Structures are given as structure tokens and as C-alpha cells.
Amino acid sequence: MCLGSVMWSSEPLMKPEAWLSSGHSPGPGRLLLVCHVSGFYPKPLWVMWMRGEQEQQGTQRGDFLPNADGTWYLRATLDVAAGEAAGLACRVKHSSLGGQDLVLYWGEKGLGPSWRRGEKGGKWRLETKIGLRSGVLNTRRNGPGKSQRFEGLLENKESLEAG
């Protein structure tokens, strides 16, 4: 139903959760960057590895896979030379995000995203959710150099499953 310029829908919108990891090395001196996107509904979603505003044509998207709760999972991978990973980002577009893309930057040190001020400046805070079996663990960063690290995640698996 449409009232004026506002669209109303009976379908719930579920925002995607995204995180980065590396896959099995495709060869010496190469990295397989993996962008995981999960928990979104409805199904249509756009995900791409980017360098600045340039789409990386080597991005490979997997199949949409259903989650048990009726939402969807999708992953996008990119095979790059290890020295070319810095400056790459995974960009996610979904109807639930209200036109504000989800962007995760590949870090220069270690795995995962490095966090930067949004393109329009100002204060920011980004939350990434990492799912472990039946538990969900949140990591938050509130600026450059301010982070929480979670070690021994596998050791805490039982407490997550119990909760």
C-alpha cells in the first residue's frame, strides 16, 4: 500500500550483520578476503569488495543460504595479493539500511576491519556482530585505537550456548 510518498509493507525488515575473515590461502603471497553478511530480510541484498568507490571485479558471491529464523546469509570473497589488501572494504546495500550502506574496511594489521570516520565526517560508532553457534558476541569500537579484543572465544563457547 502506498500513502503519498511513503511505502508501507507488512513484511518486516531485518538489518544485516556483517563481519570479515580470511579464507584458505589461494597460494603463496595471496589472501582470500571473506565478507560474511547474515540475518537480513527480505532476500535482495548487494555486496561487493571495493577500493574507494571502485568495485573490485574479482568479487565472487556465494549462494543465498537460509538461516533457521527465516533470514538469509550471503558471503562475498576476493582473492588478492597480500600487499594489496590494505584499503579494501566490503560494502553492503539492503532495503533495511535506509540508504546508508554498511562498510567494513579490511585492516592493515591482522584480520578484520579497521574503523574509519564516515565519509561525511562527524563522530561515529560501528558495531560488528560475530555469531558463534547459538550465541552472539558483540564487539564495539568507538574510535581509532579504542577497541575490545575477545580472546579464547572457543573456550567460552559452552557459556554462550548455555545463555
Q: What is the predicted pLDDT for the residue at 5?
A: 46
Q: What are the residue ranges spanned by the domains of the chain?
A: 12-114
Q: What is the predicted pLDDT for the residue at 162?
A: 42
CATH architecture group of domain 12-114: Sandwich (2.60)
CA dist., res. 143 & res. 118, Å (int): 11
Detail the DSSP E strand segments found in the chain.
Answer: 2-3, 6-7, 17-22, 30-40, 46-51, 54-55, 60-61, 65-66, 72-81, 88-93, 102-106, 113-114, 126-132, 135-143, 146-147
Average pLDDT per 10 consecutive residues for the chain, totaling 163 residues: 51 94 92 97 98 97 97 98 94 97 79 41 36 32 32 33 41
Q: What is the predicted pLDDT for the residue at 9?
A: 59
Q: What is the predicted pLDDT for the residue at 11?
A: 75
Amino acid at 155: E
In angstroms, how far is the first alpha carbon of the chain from the final one? 40
pTM of the model: 0.63
Q: What is the predicted pLDDT for the residue at 160?
A: 36
Q: What is the predicted pLDDT for the residue at 26?
A: 87
Asked whether the bond before 66 is cis by omega within 30 degrees of 0, the reply is no
Could you tell me if 75 and 21 are in contact, meaning their C-beta atoms sit under 8 angstroms apart?
no
